[in-house]
Amino acid sequence: MGTLVFAVLTCFLLLQLHAILGRDVGHRPSSKHQKNIRNMFKSTVNISKSNKSKPIAVATEHVSSSFFKAYPAFNQTAFLKGSEAAFTFIQKAYASRDRAGLKKLLTAELFQAFDKSLTEQEQRGECMESSFLEIRSSVLKNTRVHTGALYASVEFVSDQCFVLKNAQGAILAGSAELIRTVTDTWVFTRQTASSSSKWYLAETVSAERASP
């Protein structure tokens, strides 16, 4: 399983993972920003204190009955909002080599794969200059319950551009002028018996759709 995850991850990292906001290239996200993102994704139930009288509409599309039985408080709209924040933050954290930030949002196995890839990149003297442009859409594709854990797969379509350079500054891949429309499927997980409602990224799969 670990080999498969790392093989998929390696392809993903070379093509799309290193997406960050223009001026923040190479800068570590602030601790306040990290906390805001983590808090947004920590719970999938978003109840407004000022509007408790209005019930929250829970979307059921692509949510299995076994998933709802194991996690009846699941709210699809709030979950997708949190997953988009996590999508942006994780890519930004990887690009800035923020291992501490990544460790808080990835499963142990996936973090090891990220850490290994970062270490190899550092040893080769490579760097990524990239900019995250826009998330076009996020769709909950499926849910499942397996061996005491919940899994939710989200498909993101986003516009991204990047440049991968070697130690001498030569471009190895990508282009600062080329915007790619990319489809990513990320799988998030949490333990059903956990007292925490926090989700972790467990798997990433990426496929480029178009290159304008």
What pLDDT tens digit does each residue of the chain (212 aa) get? 443 443 334 333 433 333 322 222 233 334 444 444 444 344 333 222 233 333 333 345 678 899 999 999 899 999 999 999 999 999 888 888 899 999 999 999 999 999 999 999 899 998 877 666 689 999 999 999 999 999 999 999 998 887 788 888 888 887 777 888 989 999 999 999 877 778 999 999 876 654 44
In this prediction, residue 197 carries a pLDDT of: 75
The Cα–Cα gap between 158 and 92 comes to: 14
What is the predicted pLDDT for the residue at 176?
A: 75
User: SS3 breakdown of the chain: % helix, strand, coil, rounded to 5?
Assistant: 35, 35, 30
Residue 169: the pLDDT is 85
Residue 89 region, left (φ>0) first, then alpha (ψ -120 to 50), else beta? alpha
pLDDT digits (tens, 9 = 90+) for 77-97: 999 999 999 999 998 888 888
What pLDDT is stored for residue 180 in this prediction?
A: 86
pLDDT at 27: 32
In 10 A of CB 36, how many CB atoms? 14
What are the distances in angstroms from CA 197 to CA 5, 71, 168?
24, 10, 45
Q: Give the per-residue pLDDT at 133.
A: 66
Number of C-beta neighbours around residue 103 at 10 A: 14
Q: What is the DSSP string of 128-141?
A: EEEEEEEEEEEEEE
pLDDT of the residue at 173: 82
**CA angle centred on 111, ends 108 and 115, rounded to 5°:** 140
Residue 153's pLDDT is 96
Indicate the Cα dihedral angle 36, 41, 43, 46, nearest 10°: 70
Q: What domains does the chain contain, in order, with CATH numbers? A: 2-43+59-210 (3.10.450.240)
**Which strands, in side-by-side order, build the sheet including 127-146?**
127-146, 149-165, 171-191, 200-210
pLDDT at 28: 35
1 closest CA partner among 209, 203, 210, 212: 203
